[in-house]
Amino acid sequence: MGRRPAYDQIVQGLSGVMSVTGDAQTAPLRTGFPIADTIAGLTASFAITAALVEQRQTGRGRKIDVSLLESTLAAMGWVVSNHLNGNVDPQPIGNENFTASPSGTFATGCGPLNIAANEQKQFEALCDIVGKPELKTDPLFRERQSRKDYRVALKRELEAALAAKSAAEWETLFNAKGVPAGCVLSVPQVLNEAQIVGRKFVESLQAEVSGGQAMRVTRPGFRLETDYPEPSPPPSLGQHTEKWLGQLGFTPEEIQALGQRGVVAFDNRPTVKETIRMPDLKARAETSST
């Protein structure tokens, strides 16, 4: 396995991630973003940082070996730990939280709502807020373990009460009383949230994408006591071709020859493939105009 190329799609399947994503009817499912690639990149950054700290202390360098598969497994936390130490065979349970109940995604009068009433006091507060105080003393739900055992019945009771208001209304009520809750947002919705905007998570660069729109990028998920420096836009295709090849010892004539052969591209100049296609494109334009 170690000699195979590492692709996120493949590693999601090999690592067990897909086996626990979705529910009994839909699993196995891949995650909605390249989670294995992302975690491996974070793992590599931690490893590099640790190696640099040691190098400053001892003067010794390190060879770093980052495994896409092992990085993903390490990030699965209790899914793997419960199997290793409790002989629990992980199962896909959709939007439910294996470790607690009520903890998952619930239907409301308008939109889904995530609730994480993992603690006893949170559960009791939840019951009072939705107008179901009797659930606190119900033999099926009054203990943490019994709530997990009867999570389906508990969810049915809660969703009947949650139908009275929208997800946004419940979110406000629950958080005001210490019950963790949040609406399920789309990517465009969360990018417009006040916290994301206020913390300048998205930055505009002095560069354009298609349609003349400014290029926008995201910041890392942390801030320092001072603002980040203004980000520089990525170079355009071929922008530094002549500069770097010149520094490597290529003569201007050699660089131009490489461009003519299609080996390299130059900034604001058509590539060889584009040049070859130009007569065809011109002919098409003339034909369509007639």
How confident is the model over 93-109, as pLDDT tens digits?
999 999 999 999 999 99
Judged by DSSP in three states, 253 sits in helix
Same domain, 116 and 143: yes
Domain end marker among 53, 86, 119? 86
Residue 25 lies in a domain: yes
* Predicted confidence (pLDDT) at residue 45 exceeds the cutoff of 90: yes
Looking at per-residue confidence, does 214 or 32 come out higher? Answer: 32
Judged by DSSP in three states, 61 sits in coil
Mean of the per-residue pLDDT values of the chain? 91
pLDDT at 86: 95
What mean pLDDT do residues 141-159 have? Answer: 97
Task: Provide the number of structural domains found in the chain.
Answer: 4
pLDDT at 237: 83
Q: Which residue type does 220 have?
A: P
What mean pLDDT do residues 20-30 have? Answer: 96
Which residues constitute the domain of residue 199? 185-234
Residue 97 lies in a domain: no
Residue 174 lies in a domain: yes
* Predicted confidence (pLDDT) at residue 79 exceeds the cutoff of 70: yes
Residue 117 lies in a domain: yes
Short-list 157, 182, 155, 160, CA closest to 170: 182
pLDDT at 276: 56
Residue 94 lies in a domain: no
Q: Are 94 and 23 in contact (CB under 8 A)?
A: yes
Contacts from 195-201 at CB under 8 Å and sequence distance 24+?
A: 199/223, 200/227
Short-list 85, 102, 227, CA closest to 158: 102
Residue 284: pLDDT band (50, 70, 90) is very low
Residue 183: pLDDT band (50, 70, 90) is very high
Same domain, 208 and 249: no
pLDDT tens per residue across span 253-280: 999 999 888 889 888 666 555 555 555 5
Same domain, 178 and 124: yes
Same domain, 163 and 219: no
Residue 205: pLDDT band (50, 70, 90) is confident
- Give me the helices (H) in 26-119, please: 35-58, 68-75, 78-86
The number of residues in the chain equals 290
Residue 21 lies in a domain: yes
C-alpha span between 161 and 150 (Å, rounded) = 17
Same domain, 223 and 245: no
* Predicted confidence (pLDDT) at residue 251 exceeds the cutoff of 50: yes
Same domain, 221 and 266: no
Judged by DSSP in three states, 144 sits in helix
* Predicted confidence (pLDDT) at residue 44 exceeds the cutoff of 80: yes
